[in-house]
Amino acid sequence: MAEKFAENRSPCKQDASPNNLLSSEDAKEQLIEECEEIWKQIEEFQNKITLQEVETLPDSDPKVSLLMKRMKALAAESSQWQTRMPEIITTNPDVLEALGREQLQRLGHDLAMMQSTVHSKNKKLKQDLTREQQWLEEQQQLIDCLNQTEEEISNQVVHFSEKRAFQELKSKMLKIKAYKEEILNALGEFLEEHFPLPDDRSTKKKRGSSEKPAVQIITLHEILESLIHKLINTSHDPYITISDSFWSPYIELLLRYGIALRHPEDPNRIRLENFHQ
């Protein structure tokens, strides 16, 4: 079929002069006309092949036989098309030149669009680079300013000597001691006014004798001072032992109002409540 197609193929039109260039539309129309002529030839060859292959089908199974013949024909045609090299439909230089010019124009248009896109991207990248460089310069200026400020502050720092620090600490301790003495004096005056020593009648023995007790009763102020000194000096063991010089109503007063606490194992020992904690 390929040989017959080559023999009956119509010759290319050579009416156009080589000096006269065809337009893109004229080249397309001429190419379409050649394709239509070739397609008519193919239809004629197909009809001839169909008439030549008409045979009387057996009565047993005509459909199977027809399908087998069609399959063989399609296989042969497929093998022929696979081994055939593609050919140029036309050899008219004017048509080829017009088609080539159109393809080049299309390719040039695509390249121009690509160039415009790349140019836009490059412009945006340059803008981003300029903005990032400006931000970097601002950050560098800020760092320089902070370093300068830090250096100025370091130069203005006053280094205190150990002697000056000791003198200030000693002065603070003297003020604290003076304040402590003032507080104790005020506490003594308050206790002396409101909690005086008991008179002789209250300290007589229960036996009814008029003799004075052998032990001197101490004031509430002295009891509180003993508790305070014990708590400050020996905080690990702040308890004091209740002696006969402690008047029992004073001890009950301190325990009842939560000023003093008894030892959990020895009721004859008391301590001052931790008001500073």
Q: Using one digit for the tens of pLDDT, what is the confidence trace for 42-52?
A: 878 777 777 76
Among 75, 53, 49, 77, CA closest to 66: 53
Number of compact structural domains in the chain: 3
- pLDDT tens, residue by residue, 106-148: 898 999 999 999 999 999 999 999 999 999 999 999 999 999 9
- Domain limit, last residue, from 179, 194, 209: 194
Q: How far is CA 262 from CA 31, 87, 248, in A?
A: 124, 122, 13
Question: Are residue 31 and residue 45 in the same domain, yes or no?
Answer: yes
In this prediction, residues 182-208 reach a mean pLDDT of 72
Rounded mean pLDDT of 249-264? 89
pLDDT of residue 145: 92
Helix, strand, coil shares of the chain, percent, nearest 5, are 65, 5, 30
Q: Do both 47 and 99 map to the same domain?
A: yes
Range of the domain at 173: 164-194
Q: Which residues contact 35 (CB under 8 A, 6 or more apart)?
A: 89
Contacts with 196 (C-beta within 8 Å, 6 or more apart), sequence order: 219
**Is 7's pLDDT higher than 70?**
no
Task: Report whether pLDDT(155) > 60.
Answer: yes
Same domain, 89 and 177: no
Q: What are the pLDDT digits (tens) for 173-183?
A: 999 999 988 98
Residues 239 and 189 placed together within one structural domain of the fold: no
On whether both 189 and 226 belong to a single domain, the answer is: no
3-state secondary structure of 56: coil
Are 103 and 204 in a shared domain? no
For residues 190 and 201, membership in a common domain is answered with no
Neighbours of 238 (CB within 10 A): 20
pTM comes to 0.37
- Asked whether residue 214 carries a pLDDT value surpassing 50, the answer given is yes
